[in-house]
Amino acid sequence: MEIVLGNAVVELLSQRALFLPQDRILVIADLHLGKGMHFRKAGIFMPRDSGDRDYAVLHELMQRYRPRQVWFLGDLFHSAHNSDWLLFEAFILTYPDVRFVLIRGNHDILAPEHYAALSLDVVPERLELDDLVFSHEPLEHVAPGKINVAGHIHPGCLLRGLGRQSVRLPCFYLYEQVFLLPAFGALTGLYMMERTKRASIFAILPGRIVLL
């Protein structure tokens, strides 16, 4: 689905990502890679292939959209360094001509040398591109005429059927000057967003996006 944010036309992807076609930038929030291994080290059962979906979808996006840059809006790796970082290394090394950028989030606690070894550019707070301001957490103050594109919240919505059935879905959420991206990681939860007349909710269904 194409929408206009500020003066930019952007594509909302059903793979829980955002694409800026004019600049060929793929924007992804809250991957929380390594979360499965983090839980297993804590004695919590997690299937060995729990993170495979994330890498399969990442490769699908890279091959389909061929971005020049990939911007991660924070919480790239869930916690302390573990062996799952090797999977991320292999992913990055598959695309040597792509610039990868991390806008640091509250879970991004790895030592700087891990990012530097992969030539991953780390930005402490925000990046600006024309009318769009990218950050991990939504900014408290957004300059007039700007749109803040952020992650952190893991927005979700409730879609009700004709009967009593309902389903919780990830979504993109636009409220005033803040546009929230869904969490990309398969092991992330949802925070149910309020449905108001002033908010636009773009629910993510398999293979398509619906404006509620």
**Contact yes or no for 56/15 (Cβ under 8 A):** no
- Please, which contacts does 93-96 make with residues 24 or more away whose CB atoms are closer than 8 Å? 93/118, 94/59, 94/62, 95/62
Q: What would the pLDDT profile of 26-36 be if each residue is shown by its tens digit?
A: 999 999 886 55
Question: For residues 43, 46, 48 and 51, what is the CA-based torsion angle, rounded to 10 degrees?
Answer: -120
Question: Which CATH entry fits the domain spanning 2-211: 3.10.20, 3.30.390, 3.60.21, 2.60.40?
Answer: 3.60.21
Residue 86 phi, psi dihedral angles, 5° rounding: -65, -35
Domain ranges in the chain are: 2-211
Question: What is the pairing mode between strands 69-72 and 25-28?
Answer: parallel
- Quick one: angle between helices 52-65 and 85-93, nearest 10? 10
Q: What would the pLDDT profile of 161-201 be if each residue is shown by its tens digit?
A: 666 777 889 999 999 999 999 999 877 788 999 888 899 99
pLDDT of residue 27: 98
- C-alpha 105: how far from chain center: 11
Q: What would the pLDDT profile of 46-98 be if each residue is shown by its tens digit?
A: 555 556 788 899 999 999 999 999 999 988 874 555 667 888 889 999 999 99
